[in-house]
Chains A and B, each alone.
Chain A
């Protein structure tokens, strides 16, 4: 039993019981971050803020949304949009944030790839981050089902069909996932549960893991320099803040984060109020109709690249290619055979690999939305083959990479 004395203040009272000074020191004022970083290092905070916006707006939407196939559509488009005070605002924040969060995730991911931030002890940061990407994808997909519009219904139909595994004809599995032969009430209710409970819980847990994974290997810096954090921290604490290579998470790093967050929020709210259509597909403003297939069925933009890896091939080959695309990024720390944890600009062929991968994924994204006809399907096929070839080439080109 610890020794407690009469508290001299509320702070002291709490400190004796919760150790808030220690928590503050460990989590904030003496949590060391390299100084040599650029604004791309603020994407974590931008993501945290966007996730908070999704969570808060989601709580408000949840008060009026009705997970029933007869009333879901109007509860969103009439009750929330027309009747509830500022319901439209929460919905547009939720819809735009769900799209923009993926833009930031991709920027965050490609920053990690460019600066080699998945190597030398940082593998778990990368893996937990990719698990977050997968759960965010599931969260986005399940949320997309809820307005029960045409695109909800038909995207739900197409994506759950993938689980039949092509020639395996695992139709029983598909029915088990849907709870019915086609997407219907059971389907909507279970995706509602996933969206508002199970997946958010998983995301919260994984965010904890992702932050925890940063603790021991520390944050990378923009030159891949190996920093002795203890020596540099001592320098900082001795008062040589200018000479130290590290800064404190609070206020040093946080002030820069908040600057980037503030500029990002200008962009974000511009989209919410004046340019929201990109995040809310017009087709989904038609109520779900199982007898009327829309002329074009496509997923939201952030799934298009993997959709396009599925589409140009025959069913079975396409499914294998699709499964490959889903898991391959997780394996990046092990497929990159080079010990160099430095920016791609100093890694020879890897630099070429990086930019090719980025451009290829943008091409795949564009072709994934366009109708699969004529030149678009040819470009899509070659872009999908390039994607696979790039991953096969990665271990080879990195094995022969010179020590940077």
Chain B
């Protein structure tokens, strides 16, 4: 009984110390941001029902999207390679093949009408000061603007992969990958690092990456960090709420709101777990067996003690 009391005292002091230096201290050091579950409540709802066929005509024609963006699935190639595009726009404009699958519909609509507002970078791109966002706003081709925008969103959704086909790699590469490298996943801002036979090919590729990064630094102010193990340095909750709105944590940051939907955000986090915590499934599996082994070991240890001490009392 006395031993039990001692154990209780030791446990209470240990837990109190743990609580103070871990959950409590971290709650005091870091701002807590509640997730909005990617609702984007500040953006207006889509009022019109989109027509994908009319949307296709606008995207390929009147709205001029393909002047800068490629659409691989529709056979529209990129007007320039990634390095040249970054030199012109600051960052390579994304391929639109899966935009409809990874971005929230309300966000896409707002992005087409008012990019700086949708991306929450109006502090950096202020029209009144002549600071133009590299993506030109769409003012309509003469019809009802909201209807035209809804049509374009409907088109992008119609060509994109189905939600169940959206892989972590598609999500990351579309949403994050043009600014953030992930060298544990062999990803650079201009694509996956190929396997090279000759060193000069490898060096030529590195030069391309460096040139792209130079443009990015000019555009963003600093090189966006490599996200290889952000899952361990920042944690899932931080990444989720940061993606929803970077201004939550870094007021005035050049990083735009990326406007992912909930499913795509989960896939991005899955990608980050694959690069930064690759052995998590194995850890859980092995953990189970080790715990079972330790419990059996403890039972035998207790029985042995009882047997030895029977003669001592």
A binds B: yes
The stretch that binds A, out of B120-128, B240-248, B302-310, is B302-310
Contact A255 B294 (CB under 8 A): no
Most buried by B among A78, A255, A296, A304: A255
Query: Is A89 at the interface (CB under 8 A from chain B)?
Result: yes
A361 to chain B, nearest CB (A): 9
Contacts A103-B14, A369-B21, A370-B29; A35 near B312 (Cβ below 8 A)? yes
Interface positions of B from 245 to 298, Cβ below 8 Å from A: 276, 278-279, 282-284, 286-287, 290-291, 294-295, 297-298
Query: Is A273 at the interface (CB under 8 A from chain B)?
Result: yes
Query: Is B20 at the interface (CB under 8 A from chain A)?
Result: yes
Tell me the nearest residue of chain A to B20, going by C-beta.
A366
Query: Is B197 at the interface (CB under 8 A from chain A)?
Result: no
- Number of residues on chain B facing chain A (CB within 8 A): 49
Q: Within 8 Å CB of B2, what residues of A?
A: 38
Contacts A38-B3, A362-B20; A282 near B301 (Cβ below 8 A)? no
Assign chain A's interface to a size class: 35 or more
Contacts A269-B294, A282-B232, A301-B17; A89 near B286 (Cβ below 8 A)? yes
Interface positions of B from 19 to 44, Cβ below 8 Å from A: 20-22, 24-25, 28-29
Q: Which of B234, B235, B295, B308 contacts A255 (CB 8 A)?
A: B308
The stretch that binds A, out of B5-13, B58-66, B200-208, is B5-13
Q: Within 8 Å CB of B309, what residues of A?
A: 252, 255-256
The 4 closest A-B pairs by CB, nearest first: A273-B287, A285-B233, A366-B20, A262-B301
Q: Within 8 Å CB of A369, what residues of B?
A: 20-21, 25
Q: Which of A92, A273, A286, A370 contacts B25 (CB 8 A)?
A: A370
Contact B290 A273 (CB under 8 A): yes
Q: List 25 A-B contacts (CB under 8 A).
A: A38-B6, A77-B232, A82-B184, A82-B278, A86-B286, A103-B14, A255-B304, A258-B304, A262-B300, A265-B294, A265-B297, A266-B294, A266-B295, A269-B287, A269-B291, A273-B286, A273-B287, A273-B290, A282-B233, A301-B21, A362-B16, A365-B17, A365-B20, A369-B20, A370-B29
Contacts A35-B312, A252-B312, A285-B233; A259 near B3 (Cβ below 8 A)? no
A312 to chain B, nearest CB (A): 17
Query: Is A13 at the interface (CB under 8 A from chain B)?
Result: no
Query: Is A206 at the interface (CB under 8 A from chain B)?
Result: no
Query: Is B199 at the interface (CB under 8 A from chain A)?
Result: no
Contact A366 B305 (CB under 8 A): no
How many pairs of A and B residues are in contact by the CB < 8 Å rule? Answer: 126
Q: Within 8 Å CB of B301, what residues of A?
A: 255, 258-259, 261-263
Query: Is A337 at the interface (CB under 8 A from chain B)?
Result: no
Chain A residues close to B by CB (< 8 Å): 35, 38-40, 77-78, 81-82, 86, 88-89, 92, 103, 107, 241-242, 247, 251-252, 255-256, 258-259, 261-263, 265-266, 269-270, 272-274, 278, 280, 282-283, 285-286, 295-296, 301, 304, 358, 362, 365-366, 369-371, 376
Contact B6 A255 (CB under 8 A): no
Chain B residues touching A, majority SS = helix
Chain A residues touching B, majority SS = helix
Contact A266 B279 (CB under 8 A): no
Tell me the nearest residue of chain B to A239, going by C-beta.
B311
Tell me the nearest residue of chain A to B294, going by C-beta.
A266
Q: A285-B232, A285-B276 are in contact. List 11 more A-B contacts (CB 8 A).
A: A35-B312, A38-B6, A77-B184, A89-B286, A103-B14, A251-B308, A255-B301, A262-B294, A274-B287, A282-B232, A362-B20
Contact A270 B233 (CB under 8 A): no
A176 to chain B, nearest CB (A): 33
Tell me the nearest residue of chain A to B14, going by C-beta.
A103
Distance of A370 Cα from B21 Cα, bound (Å):
8
Q: Within 8 Å CB of B282, what residues of A?
A: 88
Contact A107 B21 (CB under 8 A): no
Query: Is B18 at the interface (CB under 8 A from chain A)?
Result: yes
Tell me the nearest residue of chain B to A367, going by C-beta.
B20
Contact B3 A278 (CB under 8 A): no
Distance of A124 Cα from B290 Cα, bound (Å):
39
Contact B311 A242 (CB under 8 A): yes
Q: Which of B24, B233, B284 contacts A286 (CB 8 A)?
A: B233
Q: Within 8 Å CB of A269, what residues of B?
A: 287, 290-291, 294
Q: Within 8 Å CB of A40, what residues of B?
A: 6, 10
A195 to chain B, nearest CB (A): 22
Q: Within 8 Å CB of A358, what residues of B?
A: 13
Query: Is B229 at the interface (CB under 8 A from chain A)?
Result: yes
